[in-house]
Every structure is written in structure tokens, then in C-alpha cells.
Amino acid sequence: MRPMKIIFRAFAVGSMVAACWLVFEQPSSAHAVLLEATPSANSRIQGPDVTIKLRFNSRIDPDRSRLTLALPDGTTRKLQLQTQNSPDTLTSQVTGLKAGTYDLRWQVLAIDGHITRGELFFEVR
Ligand SMILES: [Cu+2]
């Protein structure tokens, strides 16, 4: 009985590892991941007008994606997305930014139907 028990345990652990791999690895292959950002994370840039550009690893549905900017005073501003020059990139032009720290939040819908979100901080001087 003992060897059978060990074999069963090994099988159970192996199945769990396989299940985790399916849950965590498989869907992420087409999720939108941020590859490049302007302004880059934690950078200091010159205001008051800033061009925002986010490039992802997959095509983005601009109608179901949004950029929000949290201002130094704590309020948020929904950013107007520009017409896409490239299907994997979102751009926006922001004007009138005063000195301070800004939090750019993005939420995007990738072609596989999954939404991903993230944020990055930058400083306007
Ligand atoms: Cu996905």
C-alpha cells in the first residue's frame, strides 16, 4: 500500500502544478503588457504640456481602453485618446500640467478580450 500512496501523492502534486500552470500561464500569453511608456515611470519632465504614449505587446481596443491622470491635488482627469497611429499604442495630449507628481493609470482591452490595468508615476517640474 505504501508505494501506491507515494505514487498517488506524486500524481496529485503533479496535477496541481499543471492546473496552476494552466490558470496562470496560458491566459497571460495574449494579455496586454506595457512595453514602453512616455513619460517613463518615475521620470521628471518639463510641463505644462505633455504627450503621453503607451505601447503594449498586443493590439488594443481604444474604445474599451482608458487613461486617467491623477493630479497632485488628488483629483483625476479622464484623458482623451487620440486616433491610433499603431494598433498597439495609445496616445494622448495633456495640457496645463503644473509642477508636481502625477499618477497615470491605464486600463486596456487586448484583442483576447482580457482587461489589464496598471499605473505609473511621473513628475512635472
Ligand atoms: Cu488575456
**Rounded to 5 degrees, what are φ and ψ at 102?**
-120, 150
Of the candidates 102, 93, 98, 96, the residue with the CA atom closest to the CA atom of residue 122: 102
Residues whose beta carbons lie less than 5 angstroms from ion ligand 1: 27, 30-31, 112, 114
Q: How far is the CA of 31 from the centre of ligand 1 (A)?
A: 4
Q: Using one digit for the tens of pLDDT, what is the confidence trace for 48-106?
A: 999 999 999 999 999 999 999 999 999 999 999 999 999 999 999 999 999 999 999 99
Q: Which three cell numbers stand for residue 18?
A: 499543471
**Predicted model pTM:** 0.76
Cα of 24 to ligand 1 centre, how many Å?
A: 10
On the question of pLDDT at 114 being above 70, the answer is yes
Ligand 1 center from residue 30 Cα (angstroms): 5
Which three cell numbers, joined as nine digits, stand for 90? Answer: 495609445
